[in-house]
Structure 1
Amino acid sequence: MSSAMASYSERIDELMAEGDLVGAWRLLEAHGASRPGDPGIVAAAGRLLRLRGRHAEARALLDRTLQGALDDTRVVTELAYVARDLGEREVADGWFERAYRKGTEGEQWVLDWIDLLCGLCRFDVAQRVAATYCERMPGSASGWFSLGLAYQLGKRHDLALDAYARAMRLDHALPMLRNNMAAAYIATENYHEVQSLLGDVLRDDPGNALAWTNLATMLLKRGDPTAAQVAAERACSLAPNYPVALQCCANVFSELQQWDMALHFAQRAVELEPANMSYVWSLAMLQLLRGDYAAGWLNHEARWDGSPELNGSWPNLPMPRWTGQSLSGKSVAVWSEQGNGDVLQFARFLPLVARNVRQAGGKLIFICYASLLTLMQRSLGDEVEAVIPSEQPLPETAIDYHLPLGSLPFAFGVTPDQLPAATSYLKTDHAKVGAWRSRHESDTGRLKVGLVWSGGRTHQRNPLRSVDPRVLASALGAVRGVDFVSLQIGAGSETKAMREAGMSVSDPTGELRSFDDTAALLHSLDLVITVCTSVAHLAGALGVRAWVLLDVRPHWTWMIERNDSPWYPSIRLYRQQVYGQWEPVLTQVARDLAALVVTATHQLTQKASA
């Protein structure tokens, strides 16, 4: 390109960057015709067409030029922008990568590619590209911000904060920087830094809806939902069509048990951003919690992209998903998903589905977690063709379709009053149950009560759904006529602390090797008292009497405003009435347990005198 033509090209770029599209057009009209095939001029013309919304013309022009100027970076990147604007993100990624191979790691467009990569959830690639950009352009605050964002979206929050700190030193006024840093500090539970950052943002810009949203999120995580409500409502008043703020409001009102308000905000978030599966998933949880199974099961299908625990975990199976195809002469594999409690809950649907598959001339195979394998094999018996462990490779040639276990009620349109096998659908090993009972015989006349005070320690909600074991021991330990049995795996030190608090509690968990062992132990007890965890589902599936302690925002299974469960008739529910307050719940449990001891003692006395 001649120096004059290069000057024209640069001037056109400057005018478009300044928003003077008319000036850029006039310059192109005056000088573009003299060099119609020049890649720089054509790239500028393509950009002008794109900015005017004439993407098809821009693409045609750029494609023609690319044939005569192979891999000119300006033309290639402009094709990437055309594809990006048209929503063809994978195509745009391909063009950006093609330009990147030319060794232009420090060009400004690389930042747009990083943003695109993050949108495609290709965080590892985004991080590598951004790190290289920062090496080439260490003085670019935007580069360090992009690196921080790529790390943050990839859940590498400490590295994100390091990159953001570099950006802050270069340009503390960079848009979104302090808000993003606050979100990263929330993820690392450094709430002091969050408070400081958001305080600065809101002093400078009291109308910053995102800052108010982050503040509400921080207050909620610190266990102050009433204060979070103030911040969340301020965010929504400033930005009534901002889905992030709306979803935050839904979370806050859920913790406050204002279910109508929570549903309103969740629905509004989905209306504004229906492709965001995390919003759809949150809406599904509220719909199922409220018993709206028709809508809830449909939105429950968003779990693979919307649930924080499941995001990205869809298995790479070689066979298609069953969506109603003929099963004559075919086999379908139903596979376990989510946690052990979910498998225990949804296993009730397998006999019904297996019968339907057989009637259609097909076979059903259940793929089961190894820890549940023995229990499921005995319980399902001949209902299914086979029960195989999920760790075992699938026989590809023998399976025609697959279906996730949690999708069975959606596939069959189940409502709360149509739950199959709602009493007892799992079968224990009678010999194991007898062995446990023989160990209890020396203490006849005393109730044997199993205890679980914590769910999975890594679950994001476990701090709220768990009960301090010392508080539990203090509340229940004084009830006479009870021998408590710990069912809490790996909690020897906590069980010891409960004994020191005065509770008589044994700990046989070292003998439990599988859920089959746990099931037998549960069947030998008079009662199980547990928080929301897999043991609650196991007790319910066995028909064992259980009292389940629920925090203010329970798992959808337990629904709202009732003390029984349509899923498990043997279960009684004890609900928190106020966020974080277990004492009133445990006081009621202790009172009811004492009454149960009296009833059991009276029944034994009557039996002895008969």
Structure 2
Amino acid sequence: MFSTAMTSPIESAASSLSPAERFYRRGNGAFQREDWPAAAGFYRQALELDPAHGTAWLNLGLCLRRQGHIEAAYGCTLRAQELMPDDPTVLTNLGNILVDLYRAEEAVACHKRAVAQRPDDIRMVRNLILALREAGRFEESLTACDRYLEQEPEHNQVLWERAQALFYLERYPEAWTTFEHRWQRAAIREQLPADLAFWQGEDLSGKTILVFEEQGFGDKILCARYIPLLAARGATVTLLCNPALHGLFSTLPGKVTAEVTEPEAFDYAVAMMSLPGLFGTDPTREAPPPPPPLMSKAKLPERLQQRLDAGNGRWKIGIVWSGNPAFYNNSKRAASVEHFLPLAQIPGVQLYSLQKGPNEGDLAQAGGSGLVIELGPYLKNFAQTAAILQQLDLTIMTDSGIAHLAGSLGLPIWNLLHYRPYWLYGSTGETTPWYPSMRLFRQPTPGDWDSVFDAVAEELKRSQ
């Protein structure tokens, strides 16, 4: 939470400001442009001149946190707290950093102190809700949501967090209902005709329905299982989704497209993530519908097939260490590629990297090129990835879209979970009803990947 330490939008004349204050305000300008290195530089210059400038320490900590320098951010925020011990903005930022450092209980205490002073500040309330969830205190997280909703019943951000708490509590009917409030902030609905009816479970015999994607690739693959159920009710289905999924979804009933020019021509529309609730999915009572048949026989380019065949009879194991870095919680769910490299030392094992995106280069930086055969740079879409997975003996990875893909194909997948994973996987256990072929390996304590990989290595040695 950014602090300007100004009580009025009217700034004093530059000549009346101290040199430290001038640097501080230049830092604020850079901060608002999201130029974190420049802002940090100005705040440091301000602090050289005035080490007792509390908000400069606070904002420097924010810049460092945005750049991933969590320990340094913590130190700066502690300096701010020394100067402003009861300031709620300092307390809530300190709480956020403590969550980053896997110290959720201490974070909750900080956020509670902040909210006690500003109970109507939604940013501070939401920070408390998130910290309670990270601490596994789901009932308290739900209570905090409900308390705020008493004064602002339609606040979409709090309703979203309420749905997450309900999912973790496995109160699925109520969770799915609350989850629908996300459309108060969804841009996709604004792009559709106002008179287009959203499907709420009506008879679909002879009707047309537009199903549109939302959220990450994993969620789209997860919810593909409901497309055949719509068709079974008599609907003609059109699925609007990312072209990278078109080949994979080509086996689903209906049409798959990247563009719809006349959405008003459909009788109904529905979002993919609304389908589990509309079909009454409650894994505590009954297993979710099984994943549908997906295209997994795509012909691979010769160069890609050659790399796959280079294992020389070894046990072929695919690895992925990071999901989309833009995902808000990716820093917790992702592991480092260095954690995977010792698996290549196990006799008879050949690792294949399926990593895509900005983290592809991690392997070379860690010195793993050659030891691990890289396939990621050659993969163009999910149908190709599915064809690769079919030829592997096992996939071991941290949670992301490919885990959902392997699970949907019914292939062996070891999904390595951080301490507070996606609600889909619950809080305990080695299995999930959503993907029977998936085995879950969980962090025993927050941030403890070492124990996870020790367990994986031992299990690999036993499995050969």
TM above 0.5, one fold? yes
Structure 1 position 588, deviation (Å): 0.3
Indicate conservation of the 8 Å contact 1:455/1:532, yes or no: yes
Paired position in structure 2 for 1:333: 210
Q: Aligned equivalents of 1:150 and 1:441: distance in 2?
A: 54
AA partner of residue 443 (structure 1) = N
Indicate conservation of the 8 Å contact 2:338/2:366, yes or no: yes
Paired position in structure 2 for 1:69: none
Paired position in structure 2 for 1:367: 240
Cα separation, partners in 2 of 1:393 and 1:180, compared to 1, 3 Å: farther
**Identity, % of aligned pairs?**
27
- Count of residue correspondences: 435
Structure 1 position 257, deviation (Å): 3.3
Paired position in structure 1 for 2:191: 316
Structure 1 position 237, deviation (Å): 5.4
Indicate conservation of the 8 Å contact 1:422/1:566, yes or no: no
Q: Deviations over 1:307-359 (max 9, x none)?
A: xxxx6454511252424466565422011111211110111011112222x1x
2:316 to 448, 466, 469: 448
Is 1:342 aligned to residue 219 of structure 2? yes
Paired position in structure 2 for 1:468: 336
After the TM superposition, which of the residue ranges 313-322 and 516-525 deviates more from structure 2? 313-322
Larger Rg: 1
What residue ranges of structure 2 are gaps of 5+ in the alignment?
A: 1-8, 18-26
Paired position in structure 2 for 1:408: 275
- SS of the residue corresponding to residue 246 of structure 2 reads helix
AA partner of residue 239 (structure 2) = F
Q: Deviations over 1:137-176 (max 9, x none)?
A: 99999xxxxxx99998x885769979x99xx9xxx9xxx9
Structure 1 position 180, deviation (Å): 9.2
Structure 1 position 558, deviation (Å): 1.3
Structure 1 position 470, deviation (Å): 1.3
Cα separation, partners in 2 of 1:219 and 1:291, compared to 1, 3 Å: same
Cα separation, partners in 2 of 1:421 and 1:195, compared to 1, 3 Å: same
Q: Aligned equivalents of 2:182 and 2:345: distance in 1?
A: 43
Cα separation, partners in 2 of 1:513 and 1:346, compared to 1, 3 Å: same
Q: Which has the higher helix share?
A: 1
Is 1:586 aligned to residue 453 of structure 2? yes
Is 1:377 aligned to residue 245 of structure 2? no
Structure 1 position 484, deviation (Å): 1.0
Paired position in structure 2 for 1:554: 421
After the TM superposition, which of the residue ranges 405-414 and 565-574 deviates more from structure 2? 405-414
Q: Aligned equivalents of 1:312 and 1:138: distance in 2?
A: 42
Structure 1 position 194, deviation (Å): 7.8
Q: Aligned equivalents of 1:158 and 1:487: distance in 2?
A: 32
Structure 1 position 430, deviation (Å): 6.3
- SS of the residue corresponding to residue 191 of structure 2 reads coil
Indicate conservation of the 8 Å contact 2:412/2:438, yes or no: yes
Indicate conservation of the 8 Å contact 2:196/2:266, yes or no: no
What residue ranges of structure 1 are gaps of 5+ in the alignment?
A: 1-132, 142-147, 598-610
Indicate conservation of the 8 Å contact 1:332/1:365, yes or no: yes
Cα separation, partners in 2 of 1:184 and 1:343, compared to 1, 3 Å: same
With normalisation by structure 1, the TM-score equals: 0.61
Indicate conservation of the 8 Å contact 2:91/2:111, yes or no: yes
Is 1:507 aligned to residue 386 of structure 2? no
Paired position in structure 1 for 2:154: 275
Cα separation, partners in 2 of 1:366 and 1:464, compared to 1, 3 Å: same
Q: Deviations over 1:389-433 (max 9, x none)?
A: 2xx242345323321111112222221144554255323116559
Cα separation, partners in 2 of 1:155 and 1:437, compared to 1, 3 Å: same
Spell out the pairing of 1:406-555 with structure 2 (5 A cutoff).
Answer: 406-416=273-283, 417-422=285-290, 425-429=293-297, 432=300, 436=305, 440=309, 443-444=312-313, 446-474=314-342, 476-490=343-357, 491=359, 493-497=361-365, 500=368, 504-555=371-422
Q: Deviations over 1:433-479 (max 9, x none)?
A: 999599549733x32110000111222211111111112213x2222
Paired position in structure 2 for 1:265: 144
Structure 1 position 571, deviation (Å): 0.3
Cα separation, partners in 2 of 1:156 and 1:497, compared to 1, 3 Å: closer
Cα separation, partners in 2 of 1:426 and 1:161, compared to 1, 3 Å: same
Q: Deviations over 1:522-580 (max 9, x none)?
A: 01111100111000000011111100011112112212112101110010111112111
CA RMSD of aligned residues (A): 4.2
